[in-house]
Amino acid sequence: MRAGIRLGSERGRLFLFLPVAAGAGILIYFDLTREPPVWLSVAMAGGALVLLVALWRQVAARGVAALILAATLGFGRAQLQTLAMPPLLAVPHHGVTITGRVVAVDLLPTGRRISIASPRLNGSAPAARAVRVKLRRGDDVAVEAGDTVRLRALLYGASRPAYPGGWNFARDQFFSGLGAVGFAISPLDVTARASPSWFSALRQLREAIAARILADLPIDTGSIAATLLTGFEDAIPPAERQVFITAGLAHILAVAGLHIGIVMGTLYALTRFLAGFSEYLLLRVPAKIVASLVAFLGGVAYAALTGFHVPIVRSLAMAALVLAGVIAGRRALSLRGLALAALALMLLEPQAVPGPSFQMSFSAVLALIAGYEAMGRRFAMGGEGHGRKLLRHVAALAFTSFLAGGASMPFAAYHFQQIEPYYVLANLVAVPLTALVVLPLGMAALVLMPLHLERLTLIPMGWGIGIILRVARFVAGLPHALIEISPSPGYAVALVAIGLALLGLLRSGARVSGLVPVVLGLVAMTLGRPPDVLVSPTANLIGVRDAGVVRIVQAGRVDKFTLDQWRPVWAGMTSKVGRIGDVCDGGRCLAAQGRVLILADRDAAHAGCGDAVIVISPRPLRGACRKPGRVVIDRFTVWRDGAVAVRLTKRGAMIRTDRTVQGDRPWVPPWPRRWHRR
C-alpha cells in the first residue's frame, strides 16, 4: 500500500530521469577502450524501442524501458558526434611553414596566440583541423580574425596523460576541432587582410573592448574585468587565477550561468522599472513581456561578447526557458526546465557530458532548485525589521553557496583532485559584489565605450574586483584552504551523481534513499590507494613511493607540467625531486626496500640488477635486466604504452598503462605497433 502511494506521488517524475539515463549512456560510450561498431548502437536503440512498446501497459516496466531507451540514444548520439569529427592531424616532427586564415587572436600574459583554420602545412592541401600557434615575444604585427597569414612554427600533437587515467587533452582537442599546438619560429607575415564578416567583426569588437579595459585598469584587475566582459580569460596572470581557485571562486572567472543570470536579471529589473513610467506601453503590452524580451536580447548580446562558448550557450538556453516561463505565467525555475536544457545540450554537444563544466553546473542548479523547493520558505519567515531581513538575506546567500558548492564539489574533486573548504566564506562577499557592483558597472562601461567615457565606470569596477581579489587572497591564505586528494575511481563519482539525482528529482520520502549512494561514493573517493611507482609518458620523470616519501628522479629537461599533474596523485605526502645524475650514485638508485631499481642508462646495468622487482630507466635498456617475474620499464616501454603506474603487492607488481586505460579510440593518437623481441 505504502509503495503504491509513493509511486503515485512520483507520477510525472520519469521525464526528469531521462537526461540522467541519456547521460549515463554517453559516459559509457566515452569510457570504452574500443570504438563500437555503428550497428551496435542502432541495434541497442531498436531493441530498447521494441521493449518499450512491449511493456507499454505495465507502468513500472514501461518506465524502466524508457530509461533504457534514453541511455541507448545517448550512447548512439555520442558515437554519431564522434563520426562527424575529422580525423586526427598528422603532425610533422620538424619546423613547418603554415598558411591559413586566422579565426582567433588570444591575448596572453606573455604575448599573443593565434588559431588558424584550414591550415596548409608546407604547401599541402588544407587540413580539416585548426592549429594554434603562440607568436614570438615582441612580434607586434597587427593581426585580426579573418586575416590570412604565413609563418614557420614547431607543432605538437595532443600530449598524452601524465599518468594512466589522468586528464585527457587529446579528447578535448579532438572535439574542439584542434589538430596541433605550437610556437612560432619566424615573424608573422599577414599576406591578406580580412574581408568584412559578422564573425570577424564580432571578434574584433571583443578584442577592442579587452584592449581598452587593459589600457584603463592594471593587469591584476583589468584581466579579470576583460574576462567578465569579453570571455578572454587567458590574460589573467597565473597567480591571480590560482588565488581564485584556492578560495573556491573559480566560477567567477568561468563566464557561464552566474554571469548571464546577473546580466539578464539586471536588464529585466531595470526594464520593468522603466516600463512603469510609460502608460502607453503598459496599456498595450504587459511589462513582464517587455522586460523578458529585453533581458533575452541582452543575454544574447552578452553571450556574443563572451564568445558563444558551450557553457554560456547552455546557460542562455536555460535562462530563455526561465523567461518563457515568466511570460507564460508558469514557474520560472523548475526541474522540468532543467531536464529540457540537459537533454538539449546532450543532443547538441554530447562530448560535454564527461567534462567538469557540464557536471558541476547541472549538479549545482539541481541542488538549488531542489533545495529551495524543500527549504526556501524558511527564508521568508520571521519579523520585518531591517536586522531580521538582513540576517535572512545573509542566511539565504550562505544556503545558496552551500547548495551549489556542495553539490558540485565531488565533481570538482574528481576532475581536479582538490577541495576548497572555505568556499562559502569567500562566496558570501564575492557573489553579491559581482552581482550588485562589478557586472552592472561593466555593463555600463560597455554602453559608455562609444562615447569614450568608460573610465567613469571601469575604475569603480576595478575597485570592486580589487575587493574580491583581497577577499580571495585572505581566504586562500587560511590554513588548509586547498586540500589536494588522490585521483578517485570513476564509480565513486557515479555513485554521488546517482544519489544527487535521487535526492533532487524524487518528490516523496523515497528521496532520502539518495543519501546512501552519496555517502558510499564519498567514502569510495577517500579510499583510493595511490600507485607506488609512476613513469611519465617520456620516462624523463620517475616517481617512487618510498617509506612515506615520494622520490622523483628527473632525467633531461625540467617537466614542470607533469610534476604539477603528479602532485595530487600523492596528495599529502612529501616529495623530493632530484636529477638522476645527482641522486643516483653511479647511475643506480634503489628504492622501496630494494624492490625498485632506477638506472640512468644501459651502462648502469653492468653491475647487475639484484633482486629488484621493477627496473626503470629513462633510456632504452635493450634487453638488460630482463628475467622472468621482473618488470622492466624503459624509454621504449612508454613510447609504446604511454605513462605507466605500478602498484607493488606481496605477489609482485600490478601494471597499469595509459594504453590499457585509453585503448584505441578516434581521439587517441595512434599507438606504435608492438613487436616481439627475438
Task: Give me the sign of the Cα torsion angle 64, 66, 70, 72.
Answer: positive
Task: Find out whether 602 and 620 touch, Cβ atoms under 8 Å.
Answer: yes
At 41 the pLDDT is 93
At 381 the pLDDT is 59
Phi, psi (deg, nearest 5) at residue 485: -125, 155
Q: How far apart are CA 506 and CA 366, in angstroms?
A: 12
pTM: 0.85
Exposed / middle / buried, residue 110 (Cβ in 10 Å: 0-12, 13-18, 19+): exposed
Strands 418-419 and 483-484: what pairing? antiparallel
Beta bridge mates, 114: 105, 133
Q: How far apart are CA 286 and CA 273, in angstroms?
A: 12
At 677 the pLDDT is 47
Report the 3 state secondary structure along 197-257: CHHHHHHHHHHHHHHHHHHHCCHHHHHHHHHHHHCCCCCCCHHHHHHHHHCCCHHHHCCCH
The answer for residues whose C-beta is within 8 angstroms of residue 322's C-beta and 6 or more apart is 332, 333, 337
Task: Find out whether 560 and 573 touch, Cβ atoms under 8 Å.
Answer: no
Phi, psi (deg, nearest 5) at residue 267: -65, -40
Walking along the chain (678 residues) 10 residues at a time, the average pLDDT comes out as 52 84 95 94 94 89 92 96 94 92 82 91 93 91 88 92 90 92 93 77 84 90 91 83 88 82 89 84 82 90 83 78 78 77 88 89 86 69 64 74 85 87 86 90 92 92 94 91 85 93 84 90 86 92 87 84 88 85 86 88 86 90 87 92 90 89 93 61
Distance between alpha carbon 359 and the CA centroid of its chain, in Å? 9
At 7 the pLDDT is 52
Enter the C-alpha cell of residue 349. 554537444
Exposed / middle / buried, residue 55 (Cβ in 10 Å: 0-12, 13-18, 19+): middle
